[in-house]
Structure 1
Amino acid sequence: MKLSRLCQTAGLGLLFSVSLALSVASAQTEITPAPGSIGADIPAAYFGPDPSQTAKELVGPVQLLRSGEVDLKNATITLPLYRGQTRAGKNVWYVLTDTTDQGNAAALGLNYSAKLQYAAVGKAARNATLEKDGTLTFENGTVDFSPERRIVPGNAPDFFPPKSFTPGSVGDADYTPLIRLTNSGGNVYNAPIIAYNVSKDQLAKSCVAQGGKVDHALVHDKVVSICPEGENGGTVTLRLTTGFSFAKPVLYLSLDANQGLPAAFEEVTVAPGLNDLPRGGDDGAFSPVERLFAAVNGPTGKGNPQRQGFNSALGDPGVSGPLNVLGGIPTVATDYSPIWDLNVYAWTKASIDAGYRARNIEEFQILGLAERGFITGPGGGKFGSSGFVVNCPIVYRFK
């Protein structure tokens, strides 16, 4: 049985594990907005519905990936589980999250991303063929889920970068979560592999609802439960990640990364095919990516309302991750892509000494800090693309 965990370092002096229960509780207190009744003279029940129920562009909660059921208390989503095959007949179990087909996105409850059309370059998108029985046959791309994810943090106070790391699942040289349907309009879909070359019976043992226990040597590390059969077909429940987009708290699904370090950090699959994607173009013509902003040395301390960044995620046990900032998402902008170009930044010593360091929650706030020199790239380098990309479909917007 593979257990994802953070491993002991001499600097920390103890072994501590990633605690899902603590992380979920932390997520609720860190990003969930307080009710509008606080400070008012009437109870919450007297308030009207959220404006987003009238128009999703207005303030209020919106489920963006509507193909599955979101559990806000446990920060998970349960999605349909699809079975395809390789040309050699091996089972490929996957989910669908995003597409360039706007009509099918609306019909299936997927995220629509026009930008993904420009991701079909090099090995960044694999070819898939729609068969007569409705399944997909994938031309190439495999994933090994057997490695055990480990991270050895650096010594305090600089827990990042880690001393060593091992991703929990690794794709072959052709693997990418993106696929292009060669015989059905050529649309691009985000179809991350959740399990590979395992039978339905093997997966059924990881169905928690039926008394099973998830074997992460067979499935993606974000899987909470996977049930290949059910009343409405197969399903898989996946853990979500917390963050912000234009000052709105969000939940997103982190599933793949182009290289080992972000894959190990995010508990996701290494997808080498994503290395062929152009980076640094943001919202320019033919760019397939959107920017995601991650702090190296943000404020630390579990319970600190300003907590954020890699050092906190590795050094504050039980927190809900680094609280990254996403660029455009649906209902907020038109430039959404599930493929995020990591812009990693660090607060300068002068900014920290002056007391300016705080939690950032929106893109232009960060860009303004970079323009004024309060933040830079790691180690004082140039601010911008780190070369890392991650596949993180947006799921839910709180406000």
Structure 2
Amino acid sequence: MNKKAIFTPLGMLIASAFLSTGFAQEVEDDDVRPSPPSIGSDIPVTYFGPPPSSVEPELIGPFQLLTAGQLDEDAGTITLPLYRGELRETGESIWYIVTDTTDSDAALALGLNHSGKLSFAENGRAVRTGATRQDGTLMFDVGSVDFSPELSVTPGNAENASLPPFPPLAFQPGSIGDELYSPLVKITNAGGHIYNAPMIAFNVDEADIDFCDGDPDHSVVHDSVVSICPADETVTLSLAAGFSFAKPVLYLSTEANDPLPAALEGATFAPGLRDVAVGRDDSLFSAVERLFLTINGPSNSVEGQVNPQRQGLFSTLSGEGGPLNVLGGIPTVATDYSPLWDLNVGEWTQLAIDRGYRSRVTEEFQILGLVERGFLTGPGGSAYGSSGFIVNCPIVHRFL
């Protein structure tokens, strides 16, 4: 029996069960997925040729980026290989997935995302070390996660409707890493490459996480798990929707370097990620890309009716759907992808709201232009820029 409230990653309906009211409804109602090209034409959609992206990945059209797993667009999930490793000193089991690597050849062969920028994350606790045994088992040198806490987020207006829903009154991440935990691991006997290997469960046997038919116990597995099947060596994880340079995308949310974004994302608090430098974006030796989150974007103005401009934390914490964050560069669109996203938090000014400028934003330079013109600022009118928060969000799919 699931002992924890199910919160899908910062993008889904707050305090709603994923399987009943989650991603599929959000995608349909928020109109994130592109409409068929047959609309307004004289021919059915079957008459159209294959999307250009099937010829060249950089061209327009759908493209799965993390091909290591099976994507289910309608459910908003991906089923990935589930790996079992061990903590070297204790032999405790580590159940993990792999999403990104600095090794371009391994990325191509295994269907992972390639991120050269992850090599710049090797500072302090940000990158653990490990080595493979002869049988292929990855032995991690350090790092453990407690999955037993109950994930909770209490909106700021829970006790007073006149207050804004953000910041929350209280919050609790559903999983907490020890001081040395980071999802990044450098495999010393495999070329010294860095892999993004988020932990899904820790120090449990196969029988403890045998939820092949769903309804997992989130006190022993990551909160994004929809189903997990050690016998099949697979795990199905929920995805969040967003945009990258106006292209609707799907991504995973697995860790954050602070309890607040970890709770909002339904992710693991990973203290080791605090040693990754922020605020430098695409400069030399930067390991991060920018993710843009809006606090007070448009909400659904009438209950039961969807505003096509809806976006932001106010709306999410009011139970209307995901914040629809904007990601910077992703593979096939840019060359600077990293799964480590430096969270830039924006707030629409009262002037922008009064003039009717507040709307859904979908790409980085649109946002930066609004900041330059004074219509978006940091929280409370502060300078716009890095919040100091990092979220580990591997990209999975591009719709256009």
Match of 1:172 in 2: 178
The structural deviation recorded for 1:200 is 1.2
Structure-2 change in CA distance of 1:248 and 1:191 (3 Å): same
The structural deviation recorded for 1:130 is 1.2
Q: Which one of the candidate residues 83, 89, 92 is aligned to 1:90?
A: 92
Deviation string 1:179-219 (CA, Å, 9 cap, x unpaired) is 01122211000000000000012122x221xxx63111100
Counting only pairs closer than 5 Å after superposition, residues 13-92 of structure 1 correspond to structure 2 as 17-20=15-18, 21-24=20-23, 25-30=25-30, 31-87=32-88, 88-92=90-94
Task: Point out where structure 2 has 5 or more consecutive residues left out of the alignment.
Answer: 8-13
The structural deviation recorded for 1:28 is 2.9
Aligned partner letter, 1:207: C
Contact 2:77–2:237 (CA under 8 A) maintained in structure 1: yes
Match of 1:307 in 2: 310
Query: What is the aligned residue count?
Result: 381
- SS of structure 2 residue aligned to 1:121: coil
Match of 1:351 in 2: 352
TM-score (norm 1): 0.94
Q: CA RMSD in A?
A: 1.2
Q: Which one of the candidate residues 171, 186, 203 is aligned to 1:197?
A: 203
Contact 1:115–1:336 (CA under 8 A) maintained in structure 2: yes
Contact 1:300–1:316 (CA under 8 A) maintained in structure 2: no
* Percentage of matched positions with identical amino acids: 58
Q: Distance in 2 between matches of 1:184 and 1:48?
A: 43
Q: Distance in 2 between matches of 1:18 and 1:311?
A: 16
Bigger mean CA offset, 17-26 vs 254-263: 17-26
Task: Point out where structure 1 has 5 or more consecutive residues left out of the alignment.
Answer: 7-15
The structural deviation recorded for 1:273 is 0.2
Contact 1:28–1:73 (CA under 8 A) maintained in structure 2: no
Aligned partner letter, 1:132: Q
Q: Distance in 2 between matches of 1:33 and 1:270?
A: 34
The structural deviation recorded for 1:18 is 1.9
Match of 1:215 in 2: 217
Deviation string 1:39-77 (CA, Å, 9 cap, x unpaired) is 111111111110101101000000000000000010000
Q: Distance in 2 between matches of 1:47 and 1:315?
A: 40
Q: Distance in 1 between matches of 2:264 and 2:152?
A: 9
Bigger mean CA offset, 127-136 vs 107-116: 127-136
Aligned partner letter, 1:276: D
Q: Distance in 1 between matches of 2:15 and 2:388?
A: 29
Q: Distance in 2 between matches of 1:201 and 1:140?
A: 24
The structural deviation recorded for 1:5 is 5.1
TM-score (norm 2): 0.93
Contact 1:2–1:146 (CA under 8 A) maintained in structure 2: no
Q: Distance in 2 between matches of 1:228 and 1:316?
A: 33
Contact 2:77–2:239 (CA under 8 A) maintained in structure 1: yes
Contact 2:6–2:223 (CA under 8 A) maintained in structure 1: no
Give runs of ≥4 in structure 1 deviating > 3 Å.
none
Deviation string 1:252-298 (CA, Å, 9 cap, x unpaired) is 00100001000000101000000000100100001000000000000
Contact 1:148–1:168 (CA under 8 A) maintained in structure 2: yes
Counting only pairs closer than 5 Å after superposition, residues 326-341 of structure 1 correspond to structure 2 as 326-341=327-342
Contact 1:99–1:105 (CA under 8 A) maintained in structure 2: yes
Contact 1:351–1:374 (CA under 8 A) maintained in structure 2: yes
